[in-house]
Amino acid sequence: MPDKYVLLINPPMSLGDEKNNEIVDEVFSGDLPALGILALASAIEDIEGIKPVYLDGNVCSFKTILSFIENFNNNILCIGISALSENYYIGLKILKFSRSLNNKIIHVIGNEHFTALPHLCLENQQHLLDYGFYGNDVVYKFKKFIYNLLCNQDVRNTPSLVYYHNNKLFRNPEVKESLPYEINYRLLDSYYPHTKIYERNFDSARLERWFNRKFNRSTIIEIARGCVKFKNNNKCSFCSIQYGNIWKNSISNGKEAWSFIEKTFRNGYDVIFITADELLLTFYSLLIDMRNNMPDWFKALSEFEKPLLIAYVRVEGLCNERNVKLLYDLGVRIVYLGIDAGSKFSINIFNKSLYKKEKGVERLYEQNKRALDVVKKLNMKVDIGYVLGHIGLTKGILQENIDFACELISNYSNTIGVFDANILCPEPGSRDYYFLINPVIAMEFAKK
């Protein structure tokens, strides 16, 4: 009996000009592996009778995805969709096509959009969605789920699973998993040559200008996950990550973290994004342990040979030079920083400070500048995501935010690598999104 395929799909973000029925044939924008579906594929690889297939719509075409389903639909056990808000509807198009060919294929969905709105997704798409996984700690659960599917066993006791049974919706509790997940990079090219396209799209020239050295390819690793802000049940407006019992998770110690970094480096990846939603404050003890247990292989490499690490940080941590020096010692040379606009009014609106409100606005306003001074002093680079506008914006406040952005770019032109300014488009599940679709409630809240 031939192996059953489990197709794991990261849907494309766009299909071109759909109004004129023009679907682009190729999408060549991606330069990083889709870590979520790659971790799932790696986890189920050793199940006898299962063949995982990885398809990333950021580099392979929509038609390529549909062609695989059409050609192999009689031998596909399950299709898994990794859904963000931007590509959720395209994921549904893929599942609609699958169901038109073979209604025995099991459809599963997960990732940020489903985690934010699990009940709504399943209620509205019962004809397309059989099951969903919410949260981040789902890799080993998915493996158990696939094994039980293959063996025709009941899957409904799987943790983190959301499903309908007898016209009633069920949502199983989450269970924490241990990091890291083993990654098999060979699976990237099991059906489609993702790796060479990732490498072709990788903008190494920019990094080479900054650091005067050669880079080969980049990837993402997960040695820690979470953000200190989630502890206070303030759901993220930007990524829709939800507060819960598992608000943070990490690898157990510094030695294990270095071992995982070394494995990634030995696989040919010399630009490594540490995907923790916030690394410096949330996982400070892990970083200290990494510095105290720096391995000989890393110490032996020159500055021009070491892997370049990139980390996400909050401004409250980045404005402390001792903290940033810790990152520098570990090989971090680029930090990702989100700045919630420039005006104090806007900072107050976002309510993202870790400090009490009466002090938080003023402190965060000053920290936005001080953080860049620290990065500049250590000769590091910063990529900034800047929120230019939001609900309740006036022309005057908008101008303040624009002026602050221009001031940062002017004063730190050699430190800022990327400055991505945008209006706030809050993700479903966040409070900002709730206010956006309920303006009356938003007005009442604003009066408090």
How far is the first Cα of the chain from the last one, in angstroms, to the nearest whole number?
66
At residue 85's C-alpha, the angle toward residues 430 and 180, to 5°, is 85
CA atoms of 199 and 185, how far apart (whole Å)? 13
What the block records as the tokens of 283 is 């996982």
pLDDT at 25: 55
pLDDT at 357: 58
Q: Where are the domains of the chain?
A: 4-171, 202-446
CATH C-level class of 4-171: alpha beta
Which residues 6+ apart lie within 8 Å of 170 measured at CB? 156, 161, 162, 163, 164
CATH C-level class of 202-446: alpha beta
What the block records as the tokens of 147 is 């094994």
340 three-class SS = coil
pLDDT at 328: 96
Which residues 6+ apart lie within 8 Å of 220 measured at CB? 32, 33, 35, 272, 273, 275
pLDDT at 428: 77
pLDDT at 349: 67
pLDDT at 57: 95
The answer to whether the beta carbons of residues 104 and 78 sit under 8 Å apart is: no
Locate tokens 């949330």: which residue? Answer: 282
Mean pLDDT, 10 residues at a time, over the chain (448 residues)?
91 72 60 95 97 96 95 98 93 98 98 88 94 93 98 96 92 91 96 94 89 93 80 61 67 96 96 89 94 97 95 88 94 90 72 60 79 93 87 84 91 92 77 79 74
pLDDT at 151: 96
pLDDT at 235: 62
pLDDT at 1: 60
Query: Which H or E run includes 261?
Result: helix 254-266
Q: 310 burial class (0-12, 13-18, 19+ CB within 10 angstroms)?
A: buried
pLDDT at 351: 62
Same fold, 4-171 and 202-446: no
